[in-house]
């Protein structure tokens, strides 16, 4: 990872709202899926994104690669503003930004052989000739730990872990510089998850790819990530180096998340004090005034209910909380 390089991807003040209710053809309520999020992803770096279901992690990811169109904010790829590029001009950038999807059973075309699945992106982008594409498919199968004879088989003949490897090989076919991993291990058995994580790390070491890694498993995110961002109700409430965030969480929500993570050592598990949050997660349609976490926060102050806290920075560790302003 190059510390002083230009970010591969920069996200600036991104917002994405979905219409929740209309009245006489006019939108009256919105779901604030992503609300003013900024991030930088450096070459060869993995940024882990965690938070409860519905907090906006996957929506943010889909905005970055323009599956969704952001309502506000900017997206830069290696310094180029791609936020509003039309599809024709965005095409040269799409092969450099790829995505590994959550469900390995739904993300592969069941009518295609493994060879066809991996080769199709190269054909779309007119990469290599027919002989070179076939050779590239074999190389990618070997890279992700599959056998050469798998090339003529169909997705239904493989296990979940093998299917995810096929999906990773397809993603790598276009030689991307940035890959979004949208909960790539959540549908897999625990015994297979570590294999996929190790594969992603090895590929990153060999090719210098930048990852945005979305997951619920905090232990796995800590293992693979250089930095960790914590989202709550569409906002980034904490961000910093992985070990710093994990060992010294600042935001009350992050501390609650960390306390809920399972601990393998029974002695340490008994010594860990679980932080129990009261109340339900507010509706993303009616986000609380002020800090979005104020309705559940055990350290809530009067000012927390008045205005959203600005993001404070302590030695590169960022947190959106009045306690640190």
Residue located via tokens 């002695």 = 267
Same domain flag for 145 and 185: no
Confidence of residue 314 (pLDDT cuts 50, 70, 90): confident
Higher per-residue pLDDT: 122 or 277: 122
Same domain flag for 138 and 199: no
Same domain flag for 203 and 287: yes
**The domain boundary residue, chosen from 143, 175, 207:** 175
- The one-character DSSP state at 143 is H
Residue 104 lies in a domain: no
Res 276: pLDDT: 79
Tens digits of residue pLDDT in 23-74: 767 777 889 999 999 999 999 999 999 998 889 999 999 999 999 999 999 9
Contact between 43 and 224 under an 8 Å Cβ cutoff? The reply is: no
Same domain flag for 230 and 86: yes
Res 269: pLDDT: 65
Q: Which of 258, 236, 308 has its CA nearest to residue 49?
A: 236
302, exposed or middle or buried, with CB in 10 Å at 0-12, 13-18, 19+?
Answer: exposed
Tens digits of residue pLDDT in 144-162: 999 999 999 999 999 999 9
d(CA 115, CA 138): 8
Confidence of residue 274 (pLDDT cuts 50, 70, 90): confident
Residue 278 lies in a domain: yes
Same domain flag for 71 and 199: yes
- Residue 207 belongs to what H/E stretch? helix 190-207
Res 4: pLDDT: 56
Q: What is the pTM of this model?
A: 0.91
Higher per-residue pLDDT: 217 or 238: 238
Same domain flag for 133 and 275: no
**The domain boundary residue, chosen from 121, 144, 175:** 175
Q: Is the pLDDT of residue 309 over 70?
A: yes
- Residue 10 belongs to what H/E stretch? strand 9-23
Residue 72, classed as helix, strand or coil, is strand
Q: Report how far apart, in Å, the C-alpha atoms of 96 and of each of 3, 81, 179, 247 are.
A: 21, 14, 8, 34
Same domain flag for 188 and 82: yes
> Does the CA dihedral 9-247-35-282 come out positive or negative?
positive
Question: How many residues are listed for the chain in this entry?
Answer: 325
Q: What secondary structure does DSSP assign to 37-62, as a single string?
A: EEEEE-TT-EEEEE-STTSSHHHHHH
Res 53: pLDDT: 87
Return all residues near 288 (Cβ < 8 A) that are at least 6 apart.
282, 294, 295, 305
**Structural domain count of the chain:** 2
Same domain flag for 164 and 241: no
Res 21: pLDDT: 77
Both tokens of 306, joined, read: 């008045």
Confidence of residue 253 (pLDDT cuts 50, 70, 90): very high
Confidence of residue 3 (pLDDT cuts 50, 70, 90): low
d(CA 308, CA 215): 26
Confidence of residue 258 (pLDDT cuts 50, 70, 90): confident
Same domain flag for 83 and 32: yes
Residue 102 lies in a domain: no
Same domain flag for 310 and 166: no
Q: Which domain holds residue 151?
A: 111-175
Same domain flag for 43 and 63: yes
d(CA 76, CA 85): 11
d(CA 161, CA 106): 13
- Residue 148 belongs to what H/E stretch? none
Same domain flag for 304 and 208: yes
Confidence of residue 217 (pLDDT cuts 50, 70, 90): confident
Tell me the HSE value of 151 on the side-chain side, using a 13 A CA sphere.
14
Residue 122 lies in a domain: yes
Tens digits of residue pLDDT in 77-120: 999 999 999 999 999 999 999 999 988 888 899 999 999 999 99
Q: Is the pLDDT of residue 2 over 60?
A: no
Contact between 225 and 143 under an 8 Å Cβ cutoff? The reply is: no
């Amino acid at each position: 990872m190059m510390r002083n390089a230009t970010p591969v991807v920069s996200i600036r003040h991104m917002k994405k709202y979905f219409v929740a209710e209309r009245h006489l053809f006019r939108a009256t309520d919105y779901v604030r899926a992503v609300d003013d999020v900024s991030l930088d992803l450096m070459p060869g770096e993995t940024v882990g994104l965690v938070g409860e279901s519905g907090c906006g992690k996957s929506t943010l990811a889909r905005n970055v690669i323009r599956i969704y169109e952001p309502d506000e904010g900017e997206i830069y790829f290696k310094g180029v503003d791609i936020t509003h590029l039309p599809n024709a001009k965005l095409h040269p950038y799409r092969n450099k930004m790829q995505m590994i999807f959550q469900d390995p059973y739904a993300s592969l075309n069941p009518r295609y052989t493994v060879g066809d699945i991996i080769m199709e992106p190269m054909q779309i982008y007119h990469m290599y000739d027919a002989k070179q594409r076939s050779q590239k498919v074999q190389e990618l199968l070997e890279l992700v730990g599959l056998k050469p004879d798998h090339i003529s088989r169909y997705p239904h003949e493989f296990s979940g872990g093998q299917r995810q490897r096929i999906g990773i090989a397809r993603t790598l076919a276009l030689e991307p510089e940035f890959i979004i991993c949208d909960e790539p291990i959540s549908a897999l058995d625990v015994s297979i998850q570590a294999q996929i994580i190790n594969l992603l790390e090895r590929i990153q070491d060999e090719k210098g790819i930048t990852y945005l890694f979305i997951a619920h498993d905090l232990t796995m995110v800590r293992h693979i990530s250089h930095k960790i961002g914590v989202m709550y109700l569409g906002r980034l409430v904490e961000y910093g180096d992985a070990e710093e965030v994990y060992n010294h969480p600042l935001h009350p929500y992050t501390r609650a998340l960390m306390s809920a993570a399972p601990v393998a050592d029974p002695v340490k598990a008994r010594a860990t004090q679980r932080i129990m949050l009261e109340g339900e997660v507010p509706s993303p349609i009616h986000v609380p005034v002020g800090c979005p976490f104020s309705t559940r926060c055990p350290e809530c102050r009067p000012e927390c209910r008045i205005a959203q806290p600005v993001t404070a920075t302590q030695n590169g560790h960022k947190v959106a909380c009045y306690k640190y302003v």
